[in-house]
A = this chain, B = another copy of it.
Amino acid sequence: MATLKEIGLELGLSPATVSRALNGFPEVSAKTRDRVREAAERLGYRANRNAQRLVSGRSGMVGMIVKTRADLRADQTFMEILMGLSAALADRDTDLVLAVDQGRDPVAAYRRMLERDMVDGFILNAPVMDDPRINFLREAGVPFVLHGRDRLDADYPFFTIDNYAVAAESVQLLAALGHKRIAFLNGPVLYSHAVRRRAGYLDAMARFGLPVAEGALTHDEPSEAAGYRQAVSLLAGQRGAPPTAFICSSTLLAEGVMRAAKDRRLSVPEDVSVMAHDDDLPLLRAISFTPALTVTRAPLREACIPVATALMDLIGGTDPAELQTLTRAELVVRDSTGPAPRNGDTPWP
């Protein structure tokens, strides 16, 4: 590995000038800058990160703490986020330090990392309402960015989709197709995104004058098995007249709903419409469903760069208020949704 000194020797320049040239300082002449860059390229120069970090006083690492929970989908979405964040942070010469939250105290793992001065900031995901981790980190004065948002009046940097709109727009699409009995299989109500989607669903149903039957709004883990279980029960009419449409908080749930419909010899979308929110996981393509699944689509992958960038900017001193992003999922209408069937004219009482 070449060093600044070696490049300097080669060019008859001081290491200081080489450093400035490489870092794009304006006072360096264009000619010197170009010569230095050429030589650096030729000699395969790469800055020694440890030296840079030593002098800047930063660790060059950011932390992420994983909650171990019995949530099968967590693996898939989490892997997706993990890969995306690693890549985005690597572009900023920053490493991601992972730790597992083993215990009952939700902030213990954060406290430990902080005491060890290991990281320059944190990335949090899957917030619950009024997340205790957020209060802790705010008081500790540590930079952090949320993927998601634990309260509407958040004053910290975050990146999230509009989860209220996700549910409301799904209802709107189905209502426009004439559906009156629309079930919503939501995620665990623990998570703030599920709380927002719940509100979006209920408000939209009310706006269209559609009552919601007892049991038509469920909160369960995002798995194929849970989707199947809930759909079987609803389609059997165990909780009032069966729905003519299902909105699912994840494509895994939709898989289970499709299987339940098939078991009852109901065809999609003729007898029952199915749609889902789609994180766009590479291993679970909504477009590969039969029929292709209508979704509100928001690739998890696309959240990674903004989240990583926001954290780096925050550490660099940017005002947190400028680092809040609320985006919308894209409505992708495919073949799993259609006009309400004949027998679907009656709303729930």
Please determine whether B59 and A50 come into contact, CB atoms closer than 8 angstroms.
yes
- Give Cα distance in the complex from A60 to B53, angstroms: 13
A252-266 CB contacts (< 8 Å) to partner B? none
Contact A82 B95 (CB under 8 A): no
Q: How far is the CA of A75 from the CA of B54 in the complex (A)?
A: 36
Contact (Cβ within 8 A) B100 A46: no
Q: Which of B46, B51, B59, B75 contacts A117 (CB 8 A)?
A: B46
Interface SS, A side: mixed
Q: Which positions 75-99 of chain A face chain B at CB distance < 8 Å?
A: 75-76, 78-79, 82-83, 86-87, 90, 95-99
Residues of B close to A97: CB separation below 8 A: 86, 90, 95
Whether, in the assembled complex, A72 has its beta carbon less than 8 Å from a beta carbon of chain B, the answer is yes
Most B CB within 10 A of own CB, among A49, A76, A100: A49
- Tell me, yes or no, whether A135 is within 8 Å of chain B by CB: no
In which size bucket is the chain A interface? 35 or more
The verdict on A140 contacting chain B, using a C-beta distance below 8 Å, is no
- A98-B86 in contact (CB<8A): yes
Q: Give the Cβ gap from A104 to chain B, nearest Cβ, in Å.
A: 16
CA distance A72 to B76 in the complex (A): 8
Number of identical monomers bound together in the oligomeric complex: 2
Contact B61 A54 (CB under 8 A): no
Is there an interface contact between B282 and A68, defined as CB atoms closer than 8 Å? yes
**Contact partner, A50, options B50, B72, B75, B283, Cβ 8 Å:** B50
Q: How far is the CA of A115 from the CA of B43 in the complex (A)?
A: 12
Interface string of A30-67 (1 = CB under 8 A from B): 00000000000000101011110110000111000010
**Smallest Cβ-Cβ distance to A79: which chain B residue:** B75
> A79 — which chain B residues lie within 8 A by C-beta?
75, 78-79
User: Closest CB-CB distance, A95 to chain B, in whole Å?
Assistant: 6
User: Does A86 lie within 8 Å of B68, measured CB to CB?
Assistant: no
Q: How far is the CB of A256 from chain B (nearest CB, A)?
A: 12
Name 17 A/B residue pairs within 8 A (Cβ), A-sorted. A49-B50, A49-B59, A50-B50, A50-B51, A50-B53, A51-B54, A61-B95, A68-B282, A75-B75, A75-B79, A78-B79, A82-B82, A82-B98, A83-B98, A86-B99, A90-B99, A96-B98
Q: Mark A residues whose CB is within 8 Å of B.
A: 1, 44, 46, 48-51, 53-54, 59-61, 66, 68, 70, 72, 75-76, 78-79, 82-83, 86-87, 90, 95-100, 115-117, 282-283
